[in-house]
Amino acid sequence: MNRRTAPGILSRLPVDPYVLALLATVGLAALLPVSGTAARFAGGASTGAVGLLFFLYGARLSTREVADGVRHWRLHVTVLACTFVLFPLLGLAARGLVPFVLSPQLYSGLLFLCLVPSTVQSSIAFTSIARGNVPAAICAGSFSSLVGIVITPLLAALLIGGGMTGFSADSLFKIVAQLLLPFLAGQLLRRWVSGFLGRHKKVLGLVDRGSVLLVVYTAFSEGMVSGIWHQVTPARLGALVAVEAVLLAVMLAVSWYGSKRLGFVRGDRVAIQFAGSKKSLAAGLPMATVLFGAQASLAVLPLMLFHQMQLMVCAVLAKRRAGDPEPDPTPLTDTPAQAPEEAVTAATR
């Protein structure tokens, strides 16, 4: 195999390389978990990385993009309803699977998955591939992430309750300090740092992914030290994957056919489907570490599995949507769409 063919083969692998990195990080935490002083140091580094991650989110969110998409308020309300109303209702309905199909701990993680905000990058990329309304997808994903910083912890306190380490004023303060304040700081400083961020996208992408990997390593190390993984069996994991496959299928169908019933044109329906059916791994992991403490490793497992599943399924679906014969009566986007290869790369970030 020569050097030119290897990248092409790797790009066609069904598993996202980033997910492979996540799995390798979990394996490292299983073999070499940190404890004691090292664990405290890793926890501090993880907290700092999360703050940096949300600072970058705030600095990248263009107020012009928000203004361009505000006129699609019905679309944004629909996406928010899918993300923070329908998803949680389906999660609550899955309570009937405990304890015969899902263990209580895995169910708490599944319910937490249903409360996490939507993705931004992959929603935009898949909408672009499918010839949908890209500016609307940008705004819908961004609004969902912003709302989720406040709504997700509150919904978790209301619906999960005892499955967490305890939602208190201290927990809320941690959420504000680690997530919301850095995000707002990024927005305030965007005028001065946006140029730098635009010139160093690849380096900042590594910061994004490295931050999440550090959070995963810290959370799963804590789970290993506390012995929490003895509670998971292969049968339970298989059942979890099956339940999540049904969850994703239901959301993809409801967001597509439901938006048609609401009178949205095809381009908007594409944006609603891809923004309303996915969940953000990058946003959910930091919240889980704050809310679940030592139980965070099991709490984020359903989200990690769902993340890979949604990428694989939506990549295929987006390419099928691109061949739809039904045209839009108006232009779908205000900005040039990415080429399919570039959009697929962006979707896995």
Over the stretch 23-52, which tens digit does the pLDDT of each residue have? 788 788 878 888 778 877 877 787 777 777
Task: Give the residue with greater pLDDT, 219 vs 65.
Answer: 219
CATH class of the 38-322+330-347 domain in this structure? mainly alpha
Q: Which residue has the higher pLDDT, 122 or 270?
A: 270
Q: Where are the domains of the chain?
A: 38-322+330-347
User: 62-66, 72-76, 129-133, 215-219 — which is least confidently predicted?
Assistant: 62-66
Write the pLDDT tens digit of every residue in 268-299.
999 999 999 999 887 787 778 777 766 677 77
Q: What is the mean pLDDT of residues 253-257?
A: 96
Which of 118, 115, 119 is closest to 153 using CA atoms? 115
pTM: predicted TM-score of the whole model, two decimal places? 0.71
* pLDDT for the residue 69: 56
